Amino acid sequence: MSFPDPIAVFRTEAAELLEQVEAGLLDLNVNLGDKDQIDAVFRGLHTLKGSGAMFGFEALAAFTHHCETAFDRVRKGEVPATQALVTAVLGAKDHMRALVETPAGDHEATSEALLATLRNAVEGSGSGSGATSSAASGPAQILYKIHFGLPQNSMANGTNPLPLLDELRDLGECRIVADRSAIPSLDVLFPTDLHISWDVELLTTQPRSAIDDVFIFVMDDMELEITTVEAPAPVAAAPVKSAPAGAAVEAAPAPAVTQQQAVAPAAAPAPAVPTEAKQNKASENVRVPAEKLDELMDRVGELVIAQSRLSQLAGGSGDLQLRAVSEDVERLSGELRDTMMVLRMVPVAHLFSRFRRLVHDLAHETGKTIELVTEGESTEVDKSVIERLADPLVHLVRNSCDHGLETPEERIAAGKPAAGRIFLSARQQAGEVIITIKDDGRGINKERVRAKAESSGLIAANASLSEQELYQLIFQPGFSTASQVTNLSGRGVGMDVVKRTIDALRGTINVASHTGTGSEISLAIPLTLAIIDGLLVRVGAGRYVLPLSAVEECLELSIEDDMRSRGRSFISLRDSLVPFIRLRDLFRTGTKPDPFQKVVVISTGSERVGLVVDQIIGDHQTVIKAMSKLHHDVATFSGATILGDGDVALILDVGHLVAEGQQQEAHLRAAG
Amino acid sequence: MTASILTVDDSASIRLTTRVALSNAGYQITEAVDGLDGIAKLNAGQFDLVVTDLNMPNMDGLTMIRELRKLPAHMGVPVIFLTTESDNDLKQQAKAAGATGWLTKPFDPESLVKIVKKVLGR
The 3-class secondary structure across A230-282, one letter per residue, is: CCCCHHHHHHHHHCHHHCHHHHCCCCCCCCCCECCCCCCCCCEECCCCCCCHH
Selected residue with higher pLDDT from B1 and A636: A636
Q: Does the bond joining B106 to the residue before it have cis omega, within 30 degrees of 0?
A: yes
Give B50 or A432, the one with higher predicted confidence.
B50
Residues of chain B in contact with residue A162, where contact means CB-CB under 8 angstroms, are 121
Among candidate residues A653, A625, A624, A658, the one with its CA nearest the CA of residue A638:
A653
What gap in Å lies between CA A369 and CA A164, rounded to an integer? 52
Q: What is the pLDDT of residue A545?
A: 92
Work out whether strand B4-8 and strand B49-53 pair parallel, antiparallel, or are unpaired: parallel
> Across the interface, do A159 and B78 touch by the CB < 8 Å criterion?
yes
Q: Closest Cα partner for A325 from A40, A380, A333?
A: A333
| Contact partners, residue B104, CB within 8 Å, separation at least 6 | B82, B83, B84, B85
% of chain A beyond a pLDDT of 90: 5
Q: How far apart are the C-alpha atoms of A637 and A625, rounded to whole Å? A: 11
In this complex, do B101 and A217 lie within 8 Å of one another by their Cβ atoms? yes
User: What pLDDT is recorded for position A571?
Assistant: 77
Could you tell me which residues are beta bridge partners of residue A648? A642
Contact B100 A162 (CB under 8 A): no
- Beta carbons of A217 and B102 less than 8 Å apart: yes
pLDDT of residue A260: 39
Angle between helices B61-70 and B35-44 (to 10 degrees): 30
- Order of strands, sheet of A223-229, starting from the edge strand that comes earlier in the sequence: A223-229, A142-149, A197-204, A173-179, A272-273
User: How close A364 comes to chain B (CA, Å)?
Assistant: 48
Per residue in A590-649, pLDDT (tens digit) is 888 777 888 899 887 667 888 889 999 888 878 777 777 787 778 788 888 888 777 889
DSSP letter at A293 equals H
Average of per-residue pLDDT across A338-354: 81
The Cα–Cα gap between A194 and A216 comes to 18
What number is the ipTM of this complex?
A: 0.84
User: What's the rounded mean pLDDT across residues A86-108?
Assistant: 85
Closest residue, chain A, to B49 (C-alpha): A158
Residue A528: the pLDDT is 65
Question: Residue B78: its chain A contacts at CB < 8 A?
Answer: 158-160
Shortest alpha-carbon distance between residue A169 and chain B (Å) = 12
Question: pLDDT grade, residue A42 (50/70/90)?
Answer: confident
CB contact under 8 A, A163 and B120: yes
The CA distance from A336 to A269, in Å, is: 34
Ranges of beta strands (E only) in A26-127 are none
Measured distance CA(B5)–CA(A307) in Å, rounded = 73
What is the DSSP code string of A310-359? HHHHHHHS--HHHHHHHHHHHHHHHHHHHHHHHHHEEETHHHHHHHHHHH
Task: State whether A166 and B100 contact (CB < 8 Å).
Answer: no
Q: Which of B76, B95, B121 sits opposite A155 (nearest CB)?
A: B76
Tell me: pLDDT of A481 over 60: no
Q: How far apart are CA B26 and CA B2, in angstroms?
A: 7
Distance CA A213, CA A94 (A): 42
In this complex, which of A156, A166, A220 lies closest to B121 when CB atoms are compared?
Answer: A166
Mean pLDDT for the stretch of residues A117-133: 60
In the prediction, which pLDDT does A279 show?
39
Query: Is A259's pLDDT higher than 50?
Result: no
- A258 contact B CB<8A: no
Mean pLDDT of all residues in A450-457: 81
Nearest to A480 by CA among A495, A497, A468: A495
What whole-number distance in Å separates Cα of residue A261 and Cα of residue A562?
Answer: 77
Distance to chain A for B77, nearest Cα, Å: 5
Nearest CA in chain A to B96: A157
For chain A, give the percent of residues with pLDDT over 70: 82
Calculate the alpha carbon distances from A651 to A21, A311, A501, A619, A643 in Å.
Answer: 45, 21, 19, 13, 12
Interface test with B, best of A160, A216, A217 (most B CBs within 10 A): A217
CA distance B6 to chain A (A): 14
Residue A494 zone, left/alpha/beta (φ > 0; ψ -120 to 50; rest): left
Q: Do B69 and A166 touch (CB under 8 A)?
A: no
Taking the whole predicted model, whether its pTM rises above 0.95 is answered as no
For residue A494, what pLDDT is reported? Answer: 65
Is A273's pLDDT higher than 50?
A: no
The model's confidence at residue A76, banded by pLDDT at 50, 70 and 90, is confident
Q: What confidence category does residue A145 fall into, taking pLDDT thresholds of 50, 70 and 90? A: confident
How close, in Å, is residue A273 to chain B by CA atoms? Answer: 21
Question: Between chains, do B121 and A220 touch, taking CB under 8 Å as contact?
Answer: no
Interfacial residues of B (vs A; Cβ cutoff 8 Å)? 69, 75-79, 95, 98-102, 118-122
Task: Label residue A454 by pLDDT band (50, 70, 90).
Answer: confident
Record: contact A157-B99, CB cut-off 8 A: yes
Question: Residue A464 contacts by C-beta under 8 Å, 6 or more apart in sequence?
Answer: none
Predicted confidence at residue A247, as pLDDT, reads 38
Nearest CA distance, B37 vs chain A (angstrom): 21
